[in-house]
Amino acid sequence: MLLSYRQLVIADWIKPSQPGYRQRRDALVAMIDEYDSDGLAYLVEQYLTDPTLMWLPDNAILAALAQATDRPALYDRLWRRGTDQYSLNALHALRQRANDGFALQQMMAAADNPSLRGPAIRQLANLSPLPAPVADFLMSQLSLRQGQQVAQLLVEAGKDEWLSGLGDELGPLGRQHIASALSSR
């Protein structure tokens, strides 16, 4: 009822230290899935302006709001927080929308989080065919220190031919990562 009258203050209603946190959190997440755009904007504004909400112990509310609204600022916060089942589920949900440019951008952004990097790169590597922005992103990742992991995930995704054709476009480190990944298959 508080939510429908725009009187719900998330930080006051959901306090991790109080009993019933999970039930209140789950109730709010369920409401987000079915709420109208004006109500969602009300909740998004709170989440983006109230710094205490960044200290919630999990990403359930943030992930639900990000998925319901497609607000880049919410996804940005989600990818910067610690990884949990809710951020992983949000990442996996983006895979279902792989033909959507926004979803691709968010999967690439998730790869900046060290604990989401593997799952995000794996999702991107398994796209077939590789969209041009994803191919460019993966190429840039191959030349980084962590490029070995990227090359290995691309080999596992069956992108051997694509990798083999990149030799001239990459520097020595990228070529080394590709050679190592291709020799390990």
For 108, how many CA atoms within 13 A lie in the half-sphere containing its CB? 20
The Cα 42–Cα 86 span in angstroms is: 21
Q: How far apart are the C-alpha atoms of 181 and 160, rounded to whole Å?
A: 9
Give residue 147's pLDDT: 93
Report residue 36's pLDDT band, with 50, 70 and 90 as the boundaries: confident
What's the whole-model pTM score?
0.91
89 with 63: CB under 8 angstroms?
Answer: yes
pLDDT over 90 (residue 135):
yes
Q: Is the pLDDT of residue 56 over 80?
A: yes
Residue 130 is predicted with a pLDDT of 93
DSSP string across the chain = -TTTTT---HHHH--TTSTTHHHHHHHHHHHHHH--HHHHHHHHHHHHH-GGGGG-SSSHHHHHHHHHH--HHHHHHHHHSPP-HHHHHHHHHHHTTTTSHHHHHHHHHHTTSHHHHHHHHHHHHT-SSPPHHHHHHHHHHHTSTTHHHHHHHHHHTT-HHHHHTTGGGS-HHHHHHHHHHHHT-
**What's the gap between Cα 132 and its chain centre?**
19
Query: Is the confidence at residue 63, as pLDDT, over 80?
Result: yes
CA distances from 137 to 67, 95, 116, 169 (A): 23, 16, 16, 13
* Residue 11 CB neighbours (<10 A): 14
